[in-house]
Structure 1
Amino acid sequence: MKRHEFLRELHKATANRNYLEIGVNDGRSLRLSRVPSIAVDPAFKVVTEIRCDVHLVKATSDDFFARDNPLAHLKGGRHPVRNLRRGRSPVGHWRRTTLDLSFIDGMHLFEYALRDFINVERHSDWASVIVFDDMLPRNVDEAARDRHTGAWTGDVYKLVEILTRFRSDLVTLLVDTQPTGQLVVFGADPASTVLSDRYDEILAEYDVPDPQKVPESILERTGAVRPDELLRASFWRPLARARNLGLRRSRGWDPLRRALEELTVN
């Protein structure tokens, strides 16, 4: 299954109410959205019809997230929580807008992708779905930090190991899409500061010169799930229901985690 076909089906499976995309390029992935969306790219050149309510942001993702209320386009970024007992919205009682589906396909260097994840996670929660593109380079040249090939993934594949090492609370699934795979992340915790606190440490360890020593497990796609298996998994509907009901992590995360871990074993 090709990456855009998988992303199209993922929109359906997640039943997402909003969408964030980092790295618009010509708009081929953005055109799949049918919900209120924000798309960020410092040099986008959209050449396809867009069929959603979208805020196109011509900026780097770092600059975008530095804005006051960057998700304002999505229902105003914040909205008051209704007091169900009294039927009114108390002053100063606000609920933040949470991202349902995010697609990270920006600069193909791991440190940029890591910062994008840190920023996206602050606006997500356990029922959000976060997707990285280009996570399974087909050869060492394609994975170089200094681009010298036509097709180029860069070294964003390092996020697989980084998230596994530093954020074992997350569940990460490599997906065997064509041409260069994707990584789907579940269980975001907006309160976590582990990655931002240890960013400099991670950068010092993983920023190494070319040629990159790409793990065989990445090149051979070991453990990557088939996209059709992920898409037909039984947890999507309960996940969307839990998200729409605003269930707390304590009530919904453990069953989802078990279902995801069974998928990786099978």
Structure 2
Amino acid sequence: MNRHEFLRGIHRVYRPRTYLEIGVNDGRSLALSRVPSIAVDPAFKVVTSISCDVHLVKQTSDAFFARKDPLLHLRPGRNPFRALARRDPLGLLGADPRLELSFIDGMHLFEFALRDFMNVERHARWNSVIVLDDMLPRNVDEAARDRHTGAWTGDVYKVAEVLRRFRPDLLVVEVDTKPTGVVAVFGADPSSTVLKQNYDAILAEYVTEDPQDVPEEVLARKRAVAPEALLGAGFWSGLVRARNLSRPRSAFPGLRRQIERVTG
């Protein structure tokens, strides 16, 4: 299963009401969305039909998140097609919309991907789903910061290690998608400042010159779960229910255990 098939599956089982994409490129992943969406890319070249109400942002993700109200497009009353109202007839999203599904596929350098995660998390909930692309390089050359291969992941794989080390409250799941894997993150906490407080120290430790020292467990995908197994698991209905009923974060540990039974 490739990344687009996996994303299509998440849209199906999680049924997000809002969607954010960082790194649009030709629009193939954005074309999967049917809900109010924001897509950010300083040089997108969309050649695919789009079937959602989308705000295409021709900016870097840093510049986008520096806006006073980056999620303005998702606010009720700001949507000319009222797609949000149709998807949320009971007003469960409230006046302060949150990002329910986010796909990060921007600049393939560790510090950019980490910042993208930090910015997305600030606008998410604990029951949101954040997916990062190109997290499982197949060899050291693909993981180079200085691109010299066709397929290129850069060193964004390090984000998973940093999240596990500094944010054990999150559940970080590596998924064995073709060709270069993704990571799904559950349990976002928009109030957390741990990454922000440690950002400079993290960069000083993790931004290193090529060749990158890619752990064998990453190259061999030892932790990666089959995408079919994750999508077919039973926890999704509970996650959707918790989201729709605005259940507090105290509900996450139970759902986390359900997810961990799938991921090992």
Query: Tell me, what secondary structure is at the counterpart of 1:160?
Result: helix
Aligned to 1:106: 106
Task: Map 1:167-206 onto structure 2 (within 5 A).
Answer: 167-206=167-206
Is 2:75–2:95's contact at 8 Å kept on the other side of the alignment? no
Task: Map 1:74-113 onto structure 2 (within 5 A).
Answer: 74-76=74-76, 95-113=95-113
Aligned to 2:138: 138
Query: Tell me, what secondary structure is at the counterpart of 1:56?
Result: strand
Aligned to 1:166: 166
Is 1:24–1:46's contact at 8 Å kept on the other side of the alignment? yes
Is 1:70–1:77's contact at 8 Å kept on the other side of the alignment? no
Residues 1:207 and 2:207 aligned together: yes
Q: 1:200 to 1:125 in 2, by over 3 A?
A: same
Deviations 1:143-168 (A, max 9, x none): 00000011100000001110000000
4+ residue runs over 6 A deviation? none
Task: Map 1:121-132 onto structure 2 (within 5 A).
Answer: 121-132=121-132
Aligned to 1:259: 258
Question: Larger C-alpha radius of gyration, 1 or 2?
Answer: 1
Q: Distance in 2 between matches of 1:19 and 1:62?
A: 18
Deviations 1:195-237 (A, max 9, x none): 0110000000001000001000000000100000000110101
Aligned to 1:24: 24
Q: Distance in 2 between matches of 1:207 and 1:30?
A: 30
Q: Distance in 2 between matches of 1:152 and 1:210?
A: 14
**Aligned residue type for 2:259:** L
Residues 1:219 and 2:213 aligned together: no
Q: Distance in 1 between matches of 2:255 and 2:95?
A: 24
Q: Distance in 2 between matches of 1:49 and 1:217?
A: 38
Q: Distance in 2 between matches of 1:228 and 1:151?
A: 24
Unpaired runs of 5+ in structure 2? Answer: 79-93
Residues 1:229 and 2:260 aligned together: no
Q: Distance in 2 between matches of 1:3 and 1:61?
A: 21
Percent identity over paired residues = 69
Q: 1:25 to 1:263 in 2, by over 3 A?
A: same
Query: Tell me, what secondary structure is at the counterpart of 1:44?
Result: coil
**Aligned residue type for 1:241:** R
Q: Distance in 1 between matches of 2:23 and 2:77?
A: 21
Superposed CA RMSD in Å reads 1.2
How far 1:77 moved relative to its partner? 9.5
Aligned to 2:83: none
Deviates more, 1:177-186 or 1:66-75: 66-75
Q: Distance in 1 between matches of 2:95 and 2:235?
A: 26
How far 1:255 moved relative to its partner? 1.1
Query: Tell me, what secondary structure is at the counterpart of 1:100?
Result: strand
Is 1:22–1:105's contact at 8 Å kept on the other side of the alignment? yes
Is 2:75–2:96's contact at 8 Å kept on the other side of the alignment? no
**Aligned residue type for 2:261:** E
Deviates more, 1:69-78 or 1:103-112: 69-78
How far 1:26 moved relative to its partner? 0.6
> With structure 1 as the length reference, what TM-score do the two structures score?
0.92
Is 2:76–2:95's contact at 8 Å kept on the other side of the alignment? no
Query: Tell me, what secondary structure is at the counterpart of 1:125?
Result: strand
> With structure 2 as the length reference, what TM-score do the two structures score?
0.92
Aligned to 1:11: 11
